[in-house]
Structure 1
Amino acid sequence: MKKTPLSDNERLKAQSNFLRGTIREDLNDQLTGGFNGDNFQLIRFHGMYQQDNRDIRAERLKQKLEPLHSVMLRVRLPGGIISPKQWLGIDAFAGNSTEYGSIRVTNRQAVQLHGVLKHNIKPVHQLLNQLGLDARATAGDVNRNVLCTSNPVESELHQQAYAWAKKISEHLLPKTNAYAEIWLDGEKVEQPESEPILGQHYLPRKFKTAIVIPPQNDVDIHANDLNFVAIEQAGQLIGFNVLVGGGLAMTHGDTSTYPRLASEFGFITLDHVLAIAEAVVSTQRDWGNRSNRRNAKTKYTLDRVGVDTFKAEVEQRAGCQFAPIKPYAFTSRGDRIGWIHGIDGKQHLTLFIPSGRLIDQPGLLRKTGIAKIAAMHKGDFRLTPNQNIIVAGVAPEDVQDINAIAVEHGLINQHLTPQQQDAMACVSFPTCPLAMAEAERVLPELIEHLDDILAAQQLANESIIFRVTGCPNGCGRAMLAEVGLVGRALGRYDLYLGGNRQGTRIPRLYQSNKQIEDILKTLEGLISQWSQNKQHGEGFGDYVVRANIVTPVVNSSVDFYQP
């Protein structure tokens, strides 16, 4: 029987000498601002993507210049917690040594620096090391940054869950010394290394892990390969429900790809957390599709071999059995913007950051404002999966001053609407090489139109979980929105309807390849119907399903592409 050939990514990983490649030599190549050959892919395992400014690509081509290459670098922050000192170090580098001068808070609780030119790449890694940070495994075919609910209210429970996010992240990191050798001038390890969890070929595709504390589903657990749902008793964490196989990416025109909700495996106590995490990862390592990267994620492995078969293998490898799922429920996904009192008596300020982008603009110095807060703050910062920033554990004597700084720099907006808070977009143009349509840059205009429509229907205090992504790869999590726009071409999107506010239902395609103007007209009509016919407390996504405007997606591997 003829074997299906492996994808070329499998070759380059196997031949990379445990992720070293020739990256170090490539750094000294002054003839190009980019990376050559396999190194273009290998730098992803070190937390970077090679990009260029697509706004000026055509002009540079006319001038017979190569694209203005740079890298986007992600900082690994399990659970999204960063100290004020660490923030100030990153802030200074972003302002002085990047093409765009901005910091972006991602919906995976990481920090992204866009426009890092080649000569600044090694210095930024060394800066991160000095700050006690790194960019390891924030990209590539490995377990990525581990998410954790940002909940600032139940502080003790959050602290326990966050500790597990850190442990899981460290346990699943690549063991190779390549990162230290290349970026930190670490001692070269001559003997062959091993990757006891990830293997010589690493994983078939990227792998995402999250910890969530009900009733808040801010991490969107159904977007992740591996999920731990915190179960507490008398305020203490006693274990986790484990869900496996979530993921949102798909490919236009390829019906073998689809978004998928994670499957419930069962409950585990705390003493089994790392063993279960390792067993899920190693099972996916060994069973995942290494021939077709479009079908290489954990969700496709589960659908191919069966949930029960995958679960049984995890139990065998971990040496423990799952208990029945403990009861849990989600009520919301959004952040509570503004000042919040925690049960521990501390105060926390959640700041709304549009699309997570911090940059100074005339009359709106958000980046400077966060830096000024960092200079006096005695607690920490928590980056939320909704791209916002929580100034956590504010000392009583600092509340007034921090509030004043936030107001002065536009970080507190008294006119913030519910719809602005419940919207999200991926980066897309000008930096993402996969972008087909605008996302982050078009979101403010779209939300302004939506706010006008809602106000006209006497729904100004209502909102819709609304997300825009520039391509179907899922970064903006549109496939868990009540209304999701997925880019097809400049100015054209697929319109998906019917997700819910809790993030536990995938929306269905309603219109394909439509211009923004047509989509807004469609939404205006549907929101009018919702206004007139909605039941008490009924969200837009639940209404369009109840009214048979779209049928709910029940099993995405079977019915996602059905009308």
Structure 2
Amino acid sequence: MSKVNVEELKRSSNGLRGNIVDEMTNGVPNVTDETYQLLKFHGMYQQDDRDLRRDLKQKGELPAYSFMLRSRIPGGVITREQYLAHDDIADRFGNGTLRLTTREAFQVHGVLKGDVKPVIQAINHALLSTISACGDVNRNVVVTPDPADNPVNRELQALAIRIANHLTPKSRAYHEIWLDEEPQSGELEEPIYGKTYLPRKFKIGITRTGDNSIDILTHDIGIVAITNGDTITDYQLYAGGGLGKTHNNEDTFPRLADPVGRVSPDLVLKAVEAMVMVQRDHGNRENRKLSRLKYVLHNKGVDWFRSQTEKTGGFLFRNAVTLPPWQFRSWFGWTPQGNGLFTLGLFVENGRIHDSGDFRLKTALKTIATTLSCSFRITATQDLQIRDVTPAQQKVVEVILADHGIRLPDTIAPLRLQSMACPALPTCGLAISEAERVFPDIITELEGIAKQVGLESLPVVTRMTGCPNGCARPYTAELAFVGRSGTKYEIHAGGSPGGDRLTTVIHPGLDQSLFKPFFTELFTRFADNRQAGESFGDWVVRQGEW
């Protein structure tokens, strides 16, 4: 489908309705390109099993179509009942696994077309939704997963919910199509988005000064709380972050957000709305590769963007201030919440909750959710927190995990703990290389090399994606693998441990078969030339040109 057609499709979709009802009930396993685009706004992607694609084509059969549905969960916070609902959905309608995402949400893969409506209704019954989890709108709002139960963190979570609700499309199409609401006469006006919504997807993150556990500078809008004790005095807003690029197209690039200015807490929602509307009116609608807000900031500058936002919103920013250095926190292990309860941060390798042999994470988490009055939180590193655990229940949780073959984070090497990959093959239609399926073995190989040169205890933020779109945020990692073609990867390095510096390319296309000699030499050089306390990313930058 052409890029211009996407804009026309949105304009003529009758509030995101299009032909969805007819196509979802026509008895064939897939939908047209037009409906594929509109379904994104309803929180899903049509996919097919690419492992089977060639054989099925040779047999003259259709691809093995299915749908991936994504729940919208502001801040990633869910009750145990909501967790169990997703666990049940994955078993009844999906492929038996749950996928945690970098936007603190659930994905359920492998849903057949005829089961999409029951899945959405089950998610809605759990008091959650899939609306605007995908599409050219604001997507799930992510929040620092800091476990502390204090007024600041409670307000940040509440702000995420307010923003998510405020920026949800007002069309009743979702409720009519999936939840059997009576159709309304006339087309409802979208007060923020208009008929063509945004030029492209839009991402918002919320944190507090110093806490970069969500890669705040990679968002279209970053909201940073400035505090005095337990009181938020200001929010400093950033704009223009984004990581997607296209290979061999220098007009596309990853970019970190710029500080725009400060607003008082009572103005933050107005400021966010105005920033979204500036992107609506000035984002590139002719070329979707250049349509993110980062290109508006790159082309017009932060001063122009600040002025335009002030005009649109009818308020004035105060000057941005220098904030404390960013620190990346994973919140692994047990952390006191400050209210007598505890949070256990679990490492979930590449975000996949599943059972395989003696490793039975899915069953363990279901047992915990069924047994204890706890809650959960999905983090922006595709990990999971078990929250609100009493001191007496801590041992119970540990025993359940151990009985199901699940290791606690303090028994896992730092290199693996800081690793993250996107799903890629076989379901993602954009993937050109493997990621999630091969990354655990690659990490094992890197761990062996690190141990060989005496670096086994050193944490290195390491990430892998199957294409250059950057879903697993490779361009802020200390070391990253970006799919180039087949088994070849563009190797990136030099991001900071705090997540506030972009990588540089240190190899344009390294085949996986050559990883061991390449990284043996690289890690040996690092071990031999590292300064005291120097991180891998900082060492890469100190080497200069690669």
Q: TM-score, normalised by structure 1?
A: 0.94
Range that drifts further, 434-443 or 300-309: 300-309
Range that drifts further, 477-486 or 402-411: 402-411
Residue 331 of structure 1 and its aligned partner are, at CA, apart by 4.3
Q: CA deviation digits over 1:27-85, x for unaligned, max 9?
A: 1111x211124101100000000000111111222222100111100000000001100
Tell me, in whole angstroms, the C-alpha distance in 1 between the residues paired with 2:545 and 2:401. Answer: 43
Letter in 1 for 2:461: I
Determine the structure 1 residue equivalent to 2:171. Answer: 176
* SS of equivalent residue, structure 2 residue 224: strand
The answer as to 2:8 corresponding to 1:23 is: no
2:435 to 431, 436, 439: 439
Determine the structure 1 residue equivalent to 2:82. Answer: 86
Determine the structure 2 residue equivalent to 1:271. Answer: 266
2:480 to 472, 477, 484: 484
In the alignment, is the contact (CA less than 8 A) between 2:326 and 2:500 conserved in 1? no
1:461 to 441, 451, 457: 457
Tell me, in whole angstroms, the C-alpha distance in 1 between the residues paired with 2:498 and 2:369. Answer: 33
Tell me, in whole angstroms, the C-alpha distance in 2 between the residues paired with 1:540 and 1:400. Answer: 36
Q: TM-score, normalised by structure 2?
A: 0.97
Residue 302 of structure 1 and its aligned partner are, at CA, apart by 1.3
Residue 330 of structure 1 and its aligned partner are, at CA, apart by 4.1
1:70 to 41, 56, 66: 66
Letter in 2 for 1:337: F
The answer as to 2:4 corresponding to 1:7 is: yes
In the alignment, is the contact (CA less than 8 A) between 1:352 and 1:411 conserved in 2? no
Residue 549 of structure 1 and its aligned partner are, at CA, apart by 4.6
Unaligned runs of 5+ in 2: none
Letter in 1 for 2:416: Q
In the alignment, is the contact (CA less than 8 A) between 2:326 and 2:499 conserved in 1? no
Determine the structure 1 residue equivalent to 2:99. Answer: 104
Determine the structure 2 residue equivalent to 1:219. Answer: 214
Letter in 1 for 2:105: A
* SS of equivalent residue, structure 2 residue 88: helix
Q: CA deviation digits over 1:203-254, x for unaligned, max 9?
A: 0000000002232211111221001012111122222110000000000111
* SS of equivalent residue, structure 2 residue 402: helix
Tell me, in whole angstroms, the C-alpha distance in 2 between the residues paired with 1:206 and 1:185. Answer: 27
The RMSD of aligned alpha carbons is 1.4
The answer as to 2:36 corresponding to 1:40 is: yes
Identity of aligned residues (%): 37
Tell me, in whole angstroms, the C-alpha distance in 1 between the residues paired with 2:147 and 2:300. Answer: 40
Tell me, in whole angstroms, the C-alpha distance in 1 between the residues paired with 2:135 and 2:37. Answer: 8
Letter in 2 for 1:264: P
The answer as to 2:384 corresponding to 1:422 is: no
* SS of equivalent residue, structure 1 residue 38: helix
* SS of equivalent residue, structure 1 residue 7: helix
Q: CA deviation digits over 1:113-172, x for unaligned, max 9?
A: 001101110001111111101001011100000000000135432111111011111111
In the alignment, is the contact (CA less than 8 A) between 1:349 and 1:390 conserved in 2? yes
Determine the structure 1 residue equivalent to 2:404. Answer: 409
In the alignment, is the contact (CA less than 8 A) between 1:225 and 1:247 conserved in 2? yes
Tell me, in whole angstroms, the C-alpha distance in 2 between the residues paired with 1:468 and 1:185. Answer: 41
* SS of equivalent residue, structure 2 residue 411: coil
Letter in 1 for 2:180: D
Letter in 1 for 2:89: F
Determine the structure 2 residue equivalent to 1:121. Answer: 116
Letter in 2 for 1:530: F
Letter in 1 for 2:17: R
* SS of equivalent residue, structure 2 residue 131: coil
Letter in 1 for 2:398: N
Tell me, in whole angstroms, the C-alpha distance in 2 between the residues paired with 1:299 and 1:519. Answer: 33
* SS of equivalent residue, structure 2 residue 70: strand
User: What is the aligned residue count?
Assistant: 544
In the alignment, is the contact (CA less than 8 A) between 1:150 and 1:384 conserved in 2? yes
